Amino acid sequence: MRALLELVLPLAITVIGIHNPQGFAVLEASNYRPPVNALTLACGGGSIVSALFGSVPICVAGPSNAAMCSNGRAEQRFVAGIVYGLLFLAFGIFAPVAADLSSTLPIAFIGVLGGLALLRALQSWMAIAFSGDLSLGALTAFLVALSGISIFHIGAPFWGLVFGAATSWLVERATLQAALQARLDSNGVRRKS
């Protein structure tokens, strides 16, 4: 029960509330129209199946999408998805070798290599994330998630979502309510008066 409250529940909320929306936002910023409900359902079902084998939740990851959408012509970006999928499968097959190799490399080197790989994607993402109407909430969520704090044994990504939403609710309330209403209207949901 403790693991459910401290690990599973925050992880599920983090995937649903941070990773999937981040991935959808990256795709929408690149002029794609992802089927949000179908992808969320597929991620949930896939996560249930993969959990039986001890895997992590499945999500529409923002950094992966940003890396694939940041370069090249839009008509040929599907090739990046195919290559990414094949590399992902190859990495999964050779995971023991990769784990042994990564244990011999310095942590700083791995961090620098990952940072360089995502540099262009981070530049695009930050320009988009902090230029909108709810930029203070987005910045708060980013900084809290980056801080690495743990409250009640629940990690920083979850608290980033909580504090970011709270900041937007407290400081950017009118804009947040307008954005939520616009989202509801675009999905065909009417608010009761």
Q: Which residue has the tokens 């959408």?
A: 69
User: Are 125 and 141 spatial neighbours (Cβ–Cβ below 8 Å)?
Assistant: no
More confident residue, 150 or 189: 150
More confident residue, 30 or 168: 168
Query: Rounded distance, CA 75 to CA 152, Å?
Result: 47
Round the average pLDDT of the chain to a whole number and report it. Answer: 80
User: Are 164 and 176 spatial neighbours (Cβ–Cβ below 8 Å)?
Assistant: no
Both tokens of 189, joined, read: 């949901």
Question: Which of 163, 137, 22, 118 has its CA nearest to residue 155?
Answer: 163
AA letter at 84: Y
Task: Write out pLDDT tens, residues 115-133.
Answer: 777 777 677 667 776 777 8
Alpha helices in 70-155 (DSSP H): 77-93, 95-104, 107-117, 119-129, 135-147
State pTM to two decimals: 0.52
Quick one: pLDDT band at residue 163, thresholds 50, 70, 90?
very high
Nearest-5° Cα angle at 38, 53 to 43? 20
How many Å is the Cα radius of gyration of the chain?
Answer: 18
Q: Which residue has the tokens 């179908």?
A: 38
User: Are 157 and 18 spatial neighbours (Cβ–Cβ below 8 Å)?
Assistant: yes
Task: Write out pLDDT tens, residues 75-112.
Answer: 788 888 888 889 888 988 888 887 787 778 888 887 88
